[in-house]
Homo-oligomer: A and B are copies of this chain.
Amino acid sequence: MGMRTSIATVCLSGQLTEKLHACAEAGFDGVEIMDADLVAAPESPEEIRALCARLGLRIDMFQPFRDAEGVLDSDFAEVLSRAEAKFDVMERLGTDLMLLCSNVATATIGDDETLVRQLGQFADRAAARGIRIAYEALAWGRFVQDYRHAWNLVRRADRPNLGVCLDSFHILSLGLDPSGIEQIDAEKIFFLQLADAPDLDLDVLSWSRHHRLFPGEGSFELPAFLSHVLRAGYSGPLSLEVFNDTFRQTDARETADHALRSLRWLADQTAAANGWSEDRLQAPQVPRGVDFVEVAGEDLTELDQLLDQLGFIFGGRHRSKPVRLWSRGSARVILNEQARESQPRVASVGMLVDDTEAAMHRALGIGADEVFRRTFAGEQRLRGVASPDGTQVFWSDRPPSASWIQEFAGGETEHAGAAAGGAVDHINLGYSWERFDAAVLFHTSVLGLESESTAELPGPRGLVRSTVMRTPDGAVQLALNLAPPSAPALARHVAIRVDDVTDVARLARDRGLSLLRIPQNYYDDLGARFDIDPAELAELRELGLLYDRDEHGAFVHFYTPTFGGVFFEMVERRGGYVGFGAASTPVRLNAQQ
């Protein structure tokens, strides 16, 4: 491994030079230059070549050339003259590899003899210019859709400068078995393009053009795919080609960073799957639990009151910062008034791991940015990184008796907080549509969480898509919510699991908290949907609790009002209930409106 990284310019927004700067700043070794990007650029090929040289980017491939083979010989002359003009451009760019896609539009002749002959002629013209041709089977090619067919044609044409380009999308979208890649001669795999994709039942052309994702964000088995390619002996660049409507609109620099992290994750997963230990990053430190959740804001007095109402125990003030600690069982909430922002927001999440340094190594190896927190002598130095939207993740490997918790004084003991009972059940993080996929990748690659199924929940301002990510043991559970494009940012919330949520709700009410107001109609509907004991239903209704049930057990929960961008949820899991009460989410979204 230790392979070079590359990316197609079509993955990014902006003008060609912006794209190239973004690729270089992210740290890619090379680029595939898309013909249309060059055509629309005011810079000459020589200028682009010089810019790439200055930026340290190799131009790995010029792409695509389309609709060459499978035409009448009388029309093939025009193909070759069109190709010669592009060979001129490639010479000026200083790149020697051209992607040739299997004919989609103009092919009328499908017999292999014609295809082999024309591919050979095409390669010969390229050879005269010192150019190599990477032939790729498009999933919607007229006669050639299967990479094995493309390889067979290339093998028969038998030209030193003619090879194949493999693209994970074209192979996996058709459900082709990728193990056949290992039958291809190593030196004949001229290029490799990688893309992930969500599981969609959509025509393959639309799926490809609008919905590709970076590796780790979709449902393709890319480590297995890449393993086949590497076992075949391929040693060229790992290149990303991702057509995606969202990434086309996202800041190029942000997308390039995000893209490179996906390649690092994929290379590491592939090394892990094959036992290539020298190529591995530090393995992810799967968190053992949530150490703390930090809420930052200019004035958090209302949150002090809220936490008190929810039965949290005040753990004191930090000795050197305007920061306060509250805890309930193992759930610790830090209120940080250093923030200049006026609105309360979830600023960071602390994760308990076995080895903080290993977790940092992992995160930095994937490409996350380290964040800095000022610490004083004798204080625990928290180490962590920024997630795609700036929320910070910190790690701690110390038991509470030795951790930052000791820096707080003037409140109850950690023991008193623990005695109150409770734990972080899950944390719900809302993302804008531009950053949702990057957030999935971050939590997969840096934290080692796994995506569970996704739900779409109708709210009064549009559908909210929610994906649960969790550790295999469920010790850490996050719900990543994707806000509708036109909606304001979604408030984030922390869900605390307690033994008896009914007790907590009564306590909170007695201490003056008004829970989120749940419509009476909701309880009528509960009565219709579930066979609930009337007394229990009456209690739910009286306290304003929400309820759900699955085949394992039941889920009872309530929400607090929202303070700025934060609210809390208190939950009780009865039996082995595994969900998050998604059926009630539309009611919650309406009630919060």
Contacts and interface: CB of A to CB of B under 8 A. Distances in A.
Contacts of A35: 525
Nearest to A14: B460
B462 A39 contact: no
Copies per complex of this chain: 2
Contact of A462 (B78, B248, B487, B528): B248
Interface string A472-504: 000000000000111100000000000000000
Report the contact-size class of chain A (Cβ under 8 Å from the partner): 35 or more
Contact of A248 (B78, B250, B463, B529): B463
Contacts of A248: 458, 461-463, 484
Nearest to A459: B248
A326 B484 CA distance: 45
Given A82-B528, A528-B86, A587-B40, A461 B13 contact: yes
Contact of A249 (B44, B209, B484, B527): B484
A531 B484 CA distance: 48
B44 A520 contact: yes
A45 interface: yes
A89 interface: yes
A586 interface: yes
Nearest to A201: B203
Interface in A189-217: 200-203, 206, 209-210
A591 interface: yes
A180 interface: no
In this complex, which of A10, A485, A531 has the most chain B Cβ atoms within 10 angstroms of its Cβ? A485
A425 to B, nearest CB: 23
Contacts of A458: 10, 36, 248
Given A462-B248, A587-B39, A44 B593 contact: no
B42 A249 contact: no
Contacts of A527: 85
A41 B463 CA distance: 17
Interface in A561-589: 586-587, 589
A540 to B, nearest CB: 14
Interface in A489-525: 517, 519-522, 524-525
Contacts of A525: 35, 39, 85
A25 interface: no
A15 interface: yes
A13 B589 CA distance: 12
Interface in A8-57: 10, 13-15, 18, 35-36, 38-45
A179 interface: no
B40 A486 contact: no
Interface string A158-185: 0000000000000000000000000000
Interface string A287-314: 0000000000000000000000000000
A249 B486 contact: yes
Nearest to A84: B528
A89 B250 CA distance: 47
Interface string A63-103: 00000000000000010001001101100000000000000
B522 A39 contact: yes
Contact of A42 (B10, B44, B517): B517
Given A35-B525, A201-B203, A590-B15, A40 B249 contact: no
A514 to B, nearest CB: 14
A60 interface: no
Interface in A438-458: 456, 458
A245 interface: yes
B245 A463 contact: yes
Contacts of A210: 463
Contacts of A45: 521
Nearest to A86: B528
In this complex, which of A42, A45, A78, A209 has the most chain B Cβ atoms within 10 angstroms of its Cβ? A42
Nearest to A40: B590
A434 interface: yes
A519 B36 CA distance: 12
Contact of A88 (B250, B524, B593): B524
A40 B592 CA distance: 11
Contacts of A524: 39, 85, 88-89
Contacts of A10: 458
Contact of A590 (B41, B203, B529, B589): B41
26 contacts: A10-B458, A14-B460, A14-B461, A15-B460, A40-B460, A40-B519, A40-B522, A40-B587, A40-B590, A41-B590, A42-B519, A42-B520, A45-B521, A82-B528, A85-B528, A89-B524, A200-B203, A200-B206, A201-B202, A201-B206, A202-B206, A209-B456, A248-B461, A249-B487, A433-B485, A434-B486
Top 9 nearest A-B pairs by Cβ distance? A85-B528, A201-B203, A40-B590, A249-B462, A249-B486, A39-B525, A485-B485, A248-B462, A42-B519
Given A88-B524, A210-B463, 9 more contacts: A15-B590, A39-B524, A45-B521, A78-B531, A85-B527, A209-B456, A249-B484, A485-B485, A485-B486
